[in-house]
């Protein structure tokens, strides 16, 4: 029986946890973070205003809200970004939702996504949910890191 192992990262970014507006690195603004996600999420992303709303939620200090951002920095440049929100729940709704994660297209395949996911797993206490398109190649990474498919999401848009 062969056991799947995680690939050895070929690069080692600095992973920064951002919990408030003043937590962004000196050379990376909120707008830069949003632009990075819009660019590198490509067809799997959302418009900038939706990403901004998720960041507002992550930075909220209201009861039941909150979360954090992760920034993978390489040579002072953003190489990966993640937004995680807290649900204020547990059990039937996981405590956290990984809303956005992206790696610079030129840096993919070097372990940055795995390192971001591992940093998220260390930071979150409790279950984590994420939504992923069936055809998204990142789905294999999520499955390798222990995510399983529990439900098919259905939405009623109004």
Summarised one tens digit per residue, pLDDT across range 99-116 is 999 999 999 999 999 999
For 23-78, give the secondary structure using H, E and C.
Answer: HCCCCCCHHHHHHHHHHHHHHHCCCHHHHHHHHHHHHCCCCCCCEEEEEEEECCEE
CB 98 within 8 A of CB 119: no
Architecture in CATH of 14-144: 3-Layer(aba) Sandwich (3.40)
For residue 10, pLDDT over 80 is answered with no
SS3 at position 114? helix
For residue 51, pLDDT over 80 is answered with yes
pLDDT bracket for residue 4 (50, 70, 90): very low
pLDDT bracket for residue 133 (50, 70, 90): confident
What average pLDDT does the chain have? Answer: 90
For residue 3, pLDDT over 50 is answered with no
Looking at per-residue confidence, does 62 or 149 come out higher? 62
For residue 81, pLDDT over 80 is answered with yes
């Amino acid at each position: 029986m062969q056991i799947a192992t995680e690939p050895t990262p070929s690069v080692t970014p600095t992973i920064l946890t951002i919990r408030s507006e003043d937590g962004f690195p000196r050379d990376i603004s909120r707008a830069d973070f949003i632009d990075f996600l819009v660019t590198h999420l490509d067809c799997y992303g959302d418009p900038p205003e939706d990403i901004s709303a998720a960041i507002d939620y992550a930075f909220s200090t209201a009861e039941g809200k909150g979360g954090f951002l992760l920034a993978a920095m390489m040579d002072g440049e953003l190489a990966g970004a993640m937004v995680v929100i807290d649900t204020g729940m547990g059990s039937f709704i996981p405590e956290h939702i990984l809303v956005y994660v992206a790696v610079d297209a030129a840096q993919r395949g070097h372990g940055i996504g795995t390192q971001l996911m591992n940093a998220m797993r260390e930071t979150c206490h409790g279950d984590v949910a994420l939504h992923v398109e069936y055809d998204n190649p990142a789905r294999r990474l999520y499955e390798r890191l222990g995510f399983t498919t529990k439900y098919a999401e259905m939405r009623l848009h109004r």
